[in-house]
Amino acid sequence: CLSCRHFSCYATLSLPGSPLARMSTSTNTPAVNLSSSAANGKYDFAVVGAGRMGASIAGALALSGARVAVYDRSDFDRKKGLEIMRADMRQHENSELISASARLQALDNVFLVESLDEVVKAPLVVEAIFEDLDAKRQLFKSLEEAAAAYPDTVFATNSMNYMSSKIALNTVSATRVHCGVRFLHPVFFIPVVELCSDEEKQPERLPRVAALLE
């Protein structure tokens, strides 16, 4: 994958149930559950960082039928992210790219959560905070502490600049699966997701991550 400058690209995936892929289908088409663990868990995905990119990722996942937990440091930041999603979805509806029912269903799939203890209940956590290595490493460390009872939770970074191993170095357990899960902006119009790793051992553990996204 040419855009994976510092990564080995394990797979390039397209979100199932992508709104653009469903444009020609009936507006009564039911939402698609993306995660095989949906019946056993409260969330399919979690996104940490509710800025423009994080909100776009969460919104795209929710529009695809997934239940998404969204976390940021303050209630203000979380609600701001939700407003970004609402505005984007309203614009898509006005452009006749999605139906009103799809917009409402997607918003019902978004859960603002107040702690990382809630975030790690999702099988896949996507980090989408600002591009600061120290901040990302501190977040992974805090996620690891919160996820002691959830050894199978995968930590992913959406970073275009930092390898997941660099973020995870001395911050997460050696048995924790971590990788790059990179959504491209504008997320709604580019349903392709790059699943990347820079470690030789990680690709052996990544098919389970790919299964969550396929």
Confidence of residue 23 (pLDDT cuts 50, 70, 90): very low
pLDDT for residue 16: 58
Residues 154, 49: Cα–Cα separation, whole Å: 16
Residues 176, 196: Cα–Cα separation, whole Å: 15
Report pTM: 0.83
Is a pLDDT exceeding 50 seen at residue 168? yes
Residues sharing a CB contact under 8 Å with residue 177, sequence separation 6 or more, in sequence order: 152, 154, 155, 202, 205, 206, 208, 209
pLDDT for residue 191: 80
Q: What percent of the chain is predicted at pLDDT more than 90?
A: 65
pLDDT for residue 1: 35
What would the pLDDT profile of 44-79 be if each residue is shown by its tens digit?
999 999 999 999 999 999 999 999 999 999 999 999
Q: What is the mean pLDDT of the chain?
A: 83
